[in-house]
Amino acid sequence: MPMTDPLWYKDAVFYEVHVKAFFDGNDDGIGDFPGLTQKLDYLQWLGVNCIWLLPFFPSPLRDDGYDVADYLGVFADYGTLEDVRRFLDEAHRRGMRVIADLVLNHTSDQHPWFLESRSSPQSPKREYYVWSDTDKKYEKARIIFIDTEKSNWTWDPVAQAYYWHRFFSHQPDLNYDHPDLRRAMLDVLSFWLDQGLDGFRCDAVPYLFEREGTICENLPETHAYLKEVRKRIDEAYRGRILLAEANQWPADVRPYFGDGDEFHMAFHFPLMPRLFMGLRSEDWHPIVDMFIHTPPIPETCQWCLFLRNHDELTLEMCSGEERDYMYYAYARDPQMRRNIGIARRLAPLLDNDRRRIELLNSLVFTLPGSPIIYYGDEIGMGDNVHLGDRNGVRTPMQWSADRNGGFSKADAAALYLPVIADSLFGYQTANVEAQQQTPHSLLHWMRRLIAVRKRHRAFGRGTIEFLRPRNEKVLAYLRRHGEDVLLLVHNLAGSAQAVELEIRQFKGAVPIELFGESRFPAVGEAPYMLSLAPYGYYWFQLQRTTAGEPTYGIEDSLI
């Protein structure tokens, strides 16, 4: 992929990683930038195009770095600014880009701005945060972290006032009505882009402004500010991107793309649980319905599709009935539940069933959008539901069967979190080294998936048409880009299925299966008949041939 294409993110494969979790370069038990830099060859080998780094800024780590105490620094255990620059250079040298979290909505209560703000009503930073004499304002706003928070207001004994927070009570919300604050955050953005970052995953964007009588989400003022942020990118940093974390219904996410003048990308949150639902219920309706409710987006924009990330598998964009179904299907043990969601990794969610892991990955790699892989899921890493908060899915990357999974040479007790060590998902079994040595491993399969996807722009840029076969267990769709026509077929069922596809419009075309390059019988007048193994899938390119028999090799060509 040329590093000069301003629309690079439309074809890119993303990889989400936490610096602390990837590789420990100085043997202190915590991953760091020098360690991450050492592992860039691995990510290049895997074929990812863009790395998303979770927050790596100074922080008391009460929300794993989403509680920022200094926007312009680097958390000392992760390295120095120099280490970050070296890492960015090395990633770029390998043709990879790097985006990082920009936590716009709130800071840590240890941020100097907050300390100053709370110190006195006369403080010049007072208005950087949202203060009130009463906790009865903005009552329509929901509480997001329902496991720990009872209110969005917390009394501050120092300030003798309540402050507003949408997340943990130690994360006061910034006040975007204040022009100095708005400018300060734009400077933060420029600072990191000047260091060489290729963009940002913008955290919690729906909540920037508060207005009485509203739910304080997705307000017009929020969009106006985010357009200013985009303007800064377009003016001085072309080719860099903004990716929105807006856990909302597609109709409410759509405005975050603006007219191509707000975000380049946004996660598709509601699709994610429906992939799991479609699989469990062996029915394509939940998935196709979600696309019916997904409005078109500007051509320069892109969805970001994911199966898992560092948070719980969120069920916020689900009905009560759907939630119950998801808990029943994927989190019977209450220990697996966090807030409104399920804190588990992909492989355990799917009972470590390689066929289902492949199937869901195949969906996020072929539906409209750019896929993102959560670190460790490419080797089927497990989780530890007994760790608090969402830590169970943030354990050290498993590199080998060596001590601490090859992640660190420190004493096991010094690791920031224990490595997964159970007999099914533990580092002794699930690790990069072993899977690199096994040609049919999940890791090799993921690498191939990435490589095959990259051969066709239709995956990132093509149109989508769902075929809606009568067999509701088989999800089939076409992706088209120019002359390139791809046919994707997925058996959501745990039993073999036959399906008839109405594709006679491609009569004469020969489906070429993209992983093995094998030719299938040409499409004729009758419905195209396929049989699929349990959880089987096909990626076809429909190759139009000139009339007559398809030719093979050099036959019929001019020699």
Least CB distance from residue 161 to ligand NOJ, whole Å? Answer: 23
Nearer to ligand NOJ, 203 or 358 (CB): 203
Helices (H), 121-170: none
Least CB distance from residue 70 to ligand NOJ, whole Å? Answer: 16
Q: In one letter, which amino acid is 369?
A: G
d(CA 359, CA 99): 28
Q: Which two tokens stand for residue 337?
A: 């539940």
Secondary structure of 183-200 as H, E, C letters: HHHHHHHHHHHHHCCCEE
Helices (H), 270-315: 271-281, 285-292
d(CA 476, CA 489): 4
Residue from the set 153, 167, 303, 445 that interacts with ligand NOJ by CB under 6 A: 167
Least CB distance from residue 61 to ligand NOJ, whole Å? Answer: 12
Chain-centroid distance, C-alpha 249: 16
Q: Which two tokens stand for residue 90?
A: 């090395």
Query: Biggest alpha carbon distance in the chain?
Result: 87
Least CB distance from residue 167 to ligand NOJ, whole Å? Answer: 4
Contact letters for ligand NOJ, residues 234-253 (x by CB under 6 A): -----------x--------
Least CB distance from residue 141 to ligand NOJ, whole Å? Answer: 15
Catalytic positions are 203, 245
Nearer to ligand NOJ, 391 or 435 (CB): 391
What pairing do the DSSP bridges indicate for beta strands 370-374 and 341-342?
Answer: unpaired
d(CA 471, CA 457): 29
Nearer to ligand NOJ, 345 or 453 (CB): 345
Nearer to ligand NOJ, 225 or 306 (CB): 306
Q: Is 269 in the site for ligand NOJ (CB under 6 A)?
A: no
Residue nearest to ligand NOJ (CB): 66
Within residues 62-81, the interface with ligand NOJ by CB under 6 A covers 63, 66
Within residues 176-235, the interface with ligand NOJ by CB under 6 A covers 203-204
Q: What is the CA radius of gyration of the chain?
A: 24
Least CB distance from residue 202 to ligand NOJ, whole Å? Answer: 10
d(CA 405, CA 408): 8
Under 8 Å between Cβ of 265 and 229: no
d(CA 474, CA 537): 9
Nearer to ligand NOJ, 128 or 537 (CB): 128
Residue from the set 217, 311, 358, 377 that interacts with ligand NOJ by CB under 6 A: 311
Within residues 76-115, the interface with ligand NOJ by CB under 6 A covers 103
Nearer to ligand NOJ, 202 or 363 (CB): 202
Total Cβ atoms within 10 A of residue 505: 10
Under 8 Å between Cβ of 203 and 105: yes
Least CB distance from residue 530 to ligand NOJ, whole Å? Answer: 39
Nearer to ligand NOJ, 269 or 537 (CB): 269
| Alpha carbon distances (Å) from 505 to 508, 526, 547 | 9, 11, 15
> What is the binding site for ligand NOJ (CB under 6 A)?
63, 66, 103, 167, 203-204, 245, 310-311
